[in-house]
Amino acid sequence: MNVAAPPPAISLSHEVLDSLMPMHIVLDGAGQIRHVGPTMAKLLGDTSATGQALLDVFDLRRPADVFDFAGLRKRAGQRLSLSPRSADHLSLRAVIMPLAEEDGMILDVSLGLSFARAVADHALTLHDFSPCDQTTELLYLHEANSSTSRLSRHLSERLQAAHAAAEQQARTDVLTGLSNRRAMDDELEHLLNSRSQDFCLLHLDLDLFKHVNDTYGHAAGDAVLVEVGRILTQELRGSDLPARVGGDEFLVLLRPAVSNEIAGRIATRLIERIERPIRIEEHLCQVSASIGVVSTCHYDRRPSIEKVLADVDGALYQAKNAGRGRFVISNLGGRVPGDEPPRAP
């Protein structure tokens, strides 16, 4: 009876194993590590595994009833689960087999479910895997997903920025850079509905502005409006809100509300600043301002936005009818005695 001869043993160099199985581990008969593949070396980091016992470098998670290398040898061909002690968050899969004509063993290791974490933590690339390893396909997918995710985040951030810029532009007066009527109305509605705080509202209208436009042209008029916007920005508190709401009309929201005395000082200061001559090229342009003032503190109950705007508009017309360069503080639509200063020069 003829007995078939055993197949010839195949002896592979470390260089060949490193290329075909870059995550392999070669052990001697006592379970000491003789060699690790290049990718496995990356996963172990600064740990010098050569010469150490396998079970000193790795924790064997499954099978749970194996506690030494002798027991591990008996599990040849079975699937193992282990993790490096230097990176115990990585759960690796492996199979151990004896080396032909040697007393040692070899482990072929794969990343399994730890693929994404290992790639991110250790900067693994296609060169860290066997060309035939299905992990390379996952790596392509991982890189594609990462690229798509980055692109999606970038586009989302750009869209959000564009939306915010468009919203800001829709609420901003293009000429002066102040808030516009829409922004002011929204803020007034919010304050009145939320009852969060009392406020003062100033309605400012430029005097002699038509004369500037008719005499020096609309470019000069625009320059005057820009200067008035700059003055309002400089003279008001950071919590206040100035807005251009018409051709030469401005609303100023003082929040929180101030007393009549302080509101009068603010109005006087604004009028004095606006009445200073403004040089436009070779011309000196001079305008003034009339201001109506109303405070929600003067109402018995929370007014509507229509009521507040009507009252501050009425106070403005009282100031304009009395002559340029004046302010009037309204008390429920009536003038508050003693709050009107002499006519500004």
48 vs 35, 94, 105, 306, CA distance in Å?
10, 20, 19, 79
The owner of tokens 């194993």 is 17
HSE, CB side, 13 Å, CA atoms: give it for residue 307: 13
| Confidence at 166, pLDDT banded by 50, 70, 90 | confident
Compute the distance between CA of residue 135 and CA of residue 118 in angstroms, rounded to an integer: 12
Q: Give the residue extent of every domain in the chain.
A: 14-131, 134-170, 181-335
β-bridge mates for residue 334, sequence order: 331
Could you tell me if 270 and 231 are in contact, meaning their C-beta atoms sit under 8 angstroms apart? yes
What pLDDT band is residue 6 in, cutting at 50, 70 and 90? low
Confidence of residue 345 (pLDDT cuts 50, 70, 90): very low
14-131 and 181-335 share one fold: no
CB-based contact 251:184 (threshold 8 Å)? yes
Q: Whole-model pTM above 0.75?
A: no
CATH no. for 14-131: 3.30.450.260
pLDDT beyond 80 at 162: no
Q: How many residues does the chain have?
A: 345
Q: Residues 241, 244, 247, CA angle at the centre, nearest 5°?
A: 165
Structurally, at CATH architecture level, domain 181-335 sits in 2-Layer Sandwich (3.30)
CB 21 within 8 A of CB 35: no
Using the Cα atoms of residue 169, residue 174, residue 177 and residue 181 in order, give the sign of their dihedral: negative
Instruction: Provide the pLDDT confidence category of residue 15 given band limits of 50, 70 and 90.
Output: confident
